[in-house]
Each structure stands twice: as structure tokens, then as C-alpha cells.
């Protein structure tokens, strides 16, 4: 009986230590990285084309998707925050003379 209790206590202690190590991990989830990446894209200087450091944990496809969303929404203003396309704005930009 004593041996079973000791084994159970040691096993429980190992699980708690392992769980604590996982819970204290400083790695970010993909959602957190994406949120930081969006903020970094909005904050970068005009004309800066380099991939922000905050976007490094994303796949290239995810980064390109966030970048395109940023360009269409923030830079060009063709898409509003609800995802609605402003066709008038697109046509004005396409037909305007430089």
C-alpha cells in the first residue's frame, strides 16, 4: 500500500512539473502572432516593404494574406472593416490620372 501511494505521489509530482513547464511556455499561438503582425504592418513606415519581425512566426501564406488585407483595407481603402468592397473607390483609383 505504501509503495503504491509513493509511486502515485511521484507520478503526480512529475505531471505537475510537466504541466507547469507547458503552462509557462513563452511561445505565442498563431492567433497572437497574427494579431501582433497586423499591428506591426499598421505601424511600419510608408514605403517599408520588409517583413516585420512580429510576423516571423507565420507561414508565408498567412503573412501574404495579412499583407494583402492590410493593403486593401488600410493602404488603398478599397475594403472596409466589415469586408465590404467600395467599388467606387476602386474605379476612381483605377481611372485617375497620375
28-64: pLDDT as tens digits: 899 999 999 999 999 999 888 899 999 999 999 999 9
Distance set, CA 47 to CA 2, 64, 66, 69, 96 (Å): 70, 17, 17, 16, 21
Residue 6 lies in a domain: no
Residue 14 lies in a domain: no
pLDDT in tens, 7-38: 444 444 444 454 444 444 568 899 999 999 99
Question: Which band of pLDDT confidence, cut at 50, 70 and 90, is reported for residue 71?
Answer: very high
Residue 8 lies in a domain: no
How far apart, in whole angstroms, are the C-alpha atoms of residue 27 and residue 88? 43
Cell numbers given for 10: 511521484
Residue 2 lies in a domain: no
Give the range of the structural domain holding residue 65, as residue numbers without chain letter.
26-95
Mean pLDDT of the chain: 80
Residue 17 lies in a domain: no
Pick the residue with more confidence: 23 or 81?
81
How far apart, in whole angstroms, are the C-alpha atoms of residue 54 and residue 28? 11
pTM, whole model, 2 decimals?
0.64
Structural domains in the chain (count): 1
Please tell me the predicted confidence (pLDDT) of residue 81.
Answer: 83
Amino acid at each position: 500500500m505504501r509503495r503504491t501511494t509513493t509511486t502515485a505521489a511521484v507520478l503526480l509530482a512529475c505531471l505537475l512539473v510537466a504541466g507547469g513547464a507547458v503552462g509557462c511556455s513563452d511561445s505565442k499561438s498563431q492567433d497572437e502572432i497574427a494579431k501582433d503582425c497586423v499591428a506591426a504592418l499598421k505601424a511600419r513606415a510608408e514605403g517599408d516593404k520588409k517583413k516585420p519581425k512580429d510576423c516571423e512566426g507565420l507561414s508565408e501564406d498567412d503573412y501574404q494574406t495579412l499583407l494583402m488585407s492590410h493593403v486593401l483595407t488600410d493602404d488603398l481603402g478599397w475594403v472596409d472593416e466589415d469586408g465590404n468592397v467600395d467599388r467606387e473607390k476602386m474605379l476612381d483609383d483605377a481611372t485617375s490620372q497620375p
